[in-house]
Amino acid sequence: MTQTKPRQPLLLDFEKPLVELEERIQQIRDLAAESGDGVDVSEQIRQLEARAAQLRQEIFRSLSPAQRLQLARHPRRPSTLDYIQAIGDDWMELHGDRVGSDDPALVGGIASIDGRSVVMLGHQKGRDTKDNVARNFGMASPGGYRKAMRLMEHANRFGMPILTFIDTPGAWAGLEAEHQGQGEAIAYNLREMFRLDVPIICTVIGEGGSGGALGIGVGDRLMMFEHAVYTVATPEACAAILWKDAGKAPQAAEALKITAWDLKELGILDRILPEPMGAAHSQPVEAADILKKAIVQTLAELDRMSAQERRQMRYQKFRRIGVFLEPSNGSGDGDR
């Protein structure tokens, strides 16, 4: 029998009714065990558990974009290193951009998946406040993007597929980052990732924020967990700029179309990865399993193409994105 741990500080508003119900079930169990006079509460518990399951489904099915953003930023949500360690064998982290820095906010290395050598890399958020400060909350510096590119070049040389994991509020905005060329570092990756011959699969595991996310986000396939978000700017920043009121972030989250379903509809996302009931943080092992299966399957698809076909497809995948009107063609919306 599992004991309900105190998880008050990590509780999201919309999870409250669910947790209250779970606590009641636990109380009834405890009472029955204490009294020990053979009162049968199993029927009552079964009913309550059925209700809890239904409630959970209702809550997670009708989440607003702002609520999904909360889930995507959940402190217990599995991070890049959690997933890498769960899905890879023989993992070895590699360090440094070879021009003077090693960014802890963007990690990478080599491992094998199903006996196949791969390079894996991604933004790394911290697991607690102290770790988060060390990881700069997953906001990478130019050195991080350069380390990523160096590892991707390595993968390309040795014919290893590249798996990137996106989980950042955005690239780091700081004096040093600007002086070291934050814009140049991201831009360079955007161009060079189109040049690589090996398969590239990018997965948004939590928060995909702006250019900082895209800097490791050019691939043959883009996948996203169902409660992950991917946005041009954080809803908070967008609200501050367009509404002149950071408090309007929930409206901005809605208007910006940041959920997996929105991005599928816009022709940006290839595949939505379902999360276990209660979201990835409540069942991280299952979430990693879903991710691994999707990666293995997608790699098999990409293996059937030649390097040249993949590069052509990668080009066309991004080439098609955009909605506009071109009267001479008489079409409703651009290339789509």
CB of 14 to another protein, least distance (A): 24
Q: What are phi and psi of 3, to 5 degrees?
A: -90, 135
Comparing C-alpha atoms, which of 139, 144, 138 is closest to residue 188? 144
Q: Which of 11, 90, 321, 331 binds another protein (CB under 8 A)?
A: 321
The answer to whether 203 touches 244, Cβ cutoff 8 Å, is: no
Interior angle at CA 303, CA 301 and CA 308, nearest 5: 110
The number of residues that bind another protein (CB under 8 A) is 60
Q: Which two tokens stand for residue 305?
A: 């193409």
Q: Specify the residue, 281 or 314, whose C-beta has the smaller distance to another protein.
A: 314
Span interacting with another protein, options 4-12, 113-121, 238-246, 295-303, rule CB under 8 A: 238-246
Span interacting with another protein, options 18-26, 82-90, 149-157, 318-326, rule CB under 8 A: 318-326
Query: Distance between CA 256 and CA 263 in Å, rounded?
Result: 10
Does residue 78 sit in helix, strand or coil?
coil
CB of 172 to another protein, least distance (A): 8
- Contact between 218 and another protein per CB under 8 A: yes
Q: Write the single-letter amino acid at 78.
A: P
Q: Which of 241, 285, 296, 313 binds another protein (CB under 8 A)?
A: 241
- Contact between 327 and another protein per CB under 8 A: yes
Q: What one-character-per-residue DSSP string does 243-303 give?
A: IS-GGGHHHHHHHTT-BHHHHHHTT---EEEPPPTT-TTTSHHHHHHHHHHHHHHHHHHHH
Q: Which of 224, 249, 258, 288 binds another protein (CB under 8 A)?
A: 258
Query: Distance between CA 317 and CA 173 in Å, rounded?
Result: 29
**168-207 residues near another protein, rule: CB under 8 A:** 171, 173-175, 177-184, 186-188, 190-192, 194-195
Entry field: residues in the chain: 336
Span interacting with another protein, options 1-9, 43-51, 213-221, 271-279, rule CB under 8 A: 213-221
Q: Which of 56, 230, 295, 302 binds another protein (CB under 8 A)?
A: 230
CB of 315 to another protein, least distance (A): 5
The answer to whether 242 touches 288, Cβ cutoff 8 Å, is: no
Binding residues for another protein (CB under 8 A): 171, 173-175, 177-184, 186-188, 190-192, 194-195, 210-211, 214-215, 217-218, 230-233, 237-238, 241-244, 252, 255-258, 262-263, 266, 268, 314-315, 318-319, 321-328, 333-335
